[in-house]
Amino acid sequence: MSGKTENLLAVLNLQPVVPVLVVEEAASAVPLARALVAGGLKAIEITLRTPAALEAIRLVANEVEGAVAGAGTILNAAQFDQAVAAGSRFIVSPGTTPELLEVAAQSPVPLLPGAATASEVMALREQGYQVLKFFPAEQAGGAAYLKALSSPLAGTLFCPTGGISLANAKDYLSLPNVVCVGGSWVAPKELVATEDWAGITRLAAEAAALKN
């Protein structure tokens, strides 16, 4: 196992659920991340889906003790480099391209690349990847699909993301090839908008209590 794979697993093994955040206002990033960390969710994926995302990553990386800031929805090399410069300690992509694999190979920051089919998983295995994001999890076949992959593609671990909630997270976490899941339910937009950080901490603690 490569050093980068070990570093990525060290992050993903911190908790059963990685929060997947869409941060609209950079000012909310620090209190939001602190609320998640207080509930036991230290690894935090901030998606590059808003203009505030890079600043949010920078603030969380610099100001939130105990947080491990990561960047999601990375689509190209430029975004990869920007996210690393902002302080991301892990990078997540919804799929994979040759450009992404090339920039990831040159970076010490580990990539969690997205895959949705057996062929995509096999292609990434050929590139040395052992830990993948399964996305979009529910739409691509759910826990039953991942269970079916566990034997023919033994040795590959997944972080399923997409359509996962408290109601179905255990279906995934019970599988031998799932290291953790990604979910947005721990930071609902309405709680962020009303700055209900205590409510988010409660949701984070509930998620952190889920076991593989």
What does the mean pLDDT of the chain come to? 97
Amino acid found at 13: N
Number of domains in the chain: 1
- What's the CATH number where 71 sits? 3.20.20.70
Tell whether 127 is covered by a domain. yes
Query: Rounded to an integer, what distance in angstroms lies between the CA atom of residue 164 and that of residue 89?
Result: 23
Tell whether 195 is covered by a domain. yes
Query: Rounded to an integer, what distance in angstroms lies between the CA atom of residue 96 and that of residue 85?
Result: 21
Tell whether 107 is covered by a domain. yes
Q: Residue 1 has what pLDDT?
A: 78
Q: Residue 175 has what pLDDT?
A: 97
Contact 94, 45 (CB under 8 A): no
Q: 73 lies in which domain range?
A: 3-206
The low-confidence residues of the chain, meaning pLDDT below 70, are 212
Tell whether 44 is covered by a domain. yes
Give, to the nearest 10 degrees, the angle between helix 29-38 and helix 53-63: 50
Query: Rounded to an integer, what distance in angstroms lies between the CA atom of residue 187 and that of residue 32?
Result: 8
Query: What radius of gyration do the chain's Cα atoms show?
Result: 16
Tell whether 212 is covered by a domain. no
Q: Residue 212 has what pLDDT?
A: 56
Question: Which residues are known to be catalytic?
Answer: 45, 133
Tell whether 211 is covered by a domain. no
